[in-house]
Structure 1
Amino acid sequence: MTGRVTLVGAGPGDADLLTVRGLKTLQDADVIVADRLGARAVLEQLAASGIRLRADVIDVGKLPGYHRVPQEAINELLVELAQTGKHVVRLKGGDPFVFGRGREEQQFCEEHGIPVEVVPGVTSAISVPAVAGIPLTHRGVATSFTVLTGHDQIEAGGVLSLSKGDHTVVLLMGVNTLGHSAHVLAAGARGVDCPVAIVEDGYGENQRVTVGSLGTIAGIAAARQVRNPAVIVVGDVVRLSPHAVGVLSAPAGHWTDAFLADPPLSPL
């Protein structure tokens, strides 16, 4: 008897943001194949709150620059487990179809005759900026946004349409390429004074917000030793954040300890 696979989005790492359907799917699972970011934290929080899952958990988490279990092996594992008749839940951080390689896993399973269902999750691209009081769109400020992966360096030709501050740019996992991204975006119509915010470890115990401009953010981030996981927001909407008050008034290239202050975090 062939089993089935369900791709479940764990959200940004807060079990309260797991969808009801996602929770029911986890409770029905025979085995859970879990990512590191978001997924493991949700499983731990569920256990701490007294919710017991009967499924075995297989950790296939990835670290920056190190994939302990390659993607190809994850694909094969899902098929092998489902072929034994199990209900396999692939628990992925955020949303499976937002830089989550979810469709790749779905296609591989389908090619091997395994039925796959997708349960969407709350993507960190939207939810993590909200923690810092940053809406990606706001009447009179920004009417559109683009989400980019920061794993690869962005190219100048590919961001021409993103050159104005009234279009919000969100970079996921972009700390390692931050200097290059800031330079490319500042070279357009945005200029060096365009606001930038970095939210580290959104919804985690090490959550922290850093605010600057395209001209200053690389230096500020280096001084604060900013690390992934982080969501970077570029655009005028950053000025709406309470963390930007008293920070963005300083001229580009003249940041002081005001940039390093940590205003109270938004309630979780």
Structure 2
Amino acid sequence: MQNAIAFVFYIALCISPLFVRSLLKKKKCDKAEDEFLVVLSLLLFYVIYMMVNPGLIPMPSASGIQNPMAQILLCGTVDSVIVAYLVLRGVNLFYNSETEKLYGYMVVLLWFTAILLTISVFGVSLNDLFVEIEYIKVSNAGSEIGLGITYVFTSIKLLIDSIPNLVSILVIFSGLKFIKAFSADSYSEETIRESEKLSEICKTGLTLTVSSNVVFNILQLFFMPLLRNIKSSIEVPLFSIIFVLGTLIFSKMVMSNKTLKDDNDSII
């Protein structure tokens, strides 16, 4: 009986992508990328069966891949199909949407990005700090005196590494206000005010991002004799810099267009 129930769940899970595809086709909103759902369904039949019967997984003879690694590769293949489908669906959705809807999608994406960045700063990075402090404590067992300054520098390093994400979060919140004003009236005084605030946050954030690591490395030099753990690195948070710089350029373009419009209106 249990085997029968498990088999039914197995079939239902594997054909679920086909069910989604049929619904989209019925509503006449199916796209070419929905063929990924067929691929996903067939892949699920194979991967789930292999996960239930790991002894049947074909193992490369010369690569030295162990069974757990092979299972990770199988799951990764399924994940890659799902991600590819969602990305292509999203691109199609944005490409064919009207401007008003695009504002809404942009707000959702910005909120989602802000949540991920917050989790990265106050979840992942904070956990890494506790792990590193524990590692320093264990590595200096029996000579804990004087570790306080090392803990302080370790915490400062965490804060500096988190600055690009914190700046991006501030830019996102300011950008949300800007989008709200811009969608209402792209040439209003409120839009220009929000654009100026956004530009200022971007400028300050970029300055802080690129200079903080330099200051930390110099500060380490003065306290080097007191430190048990030293981290000297040249880090360029390229994604954060491009994101903030792109936002700065866009906000300046909006202000420039407003000035040009006012000049044209005055001439008319």
TM score, norm. by length of structure 2: 0.22
> Which has more strand, going by share of residues?
1
> Which has more helix, going by share of residues?
2
Q: Which has the larger radius of gyration?
A: 2
Q: Say which structure, 1 or 2, has more relative contact order (CA 8 Å, 6+ apart).
A: 1
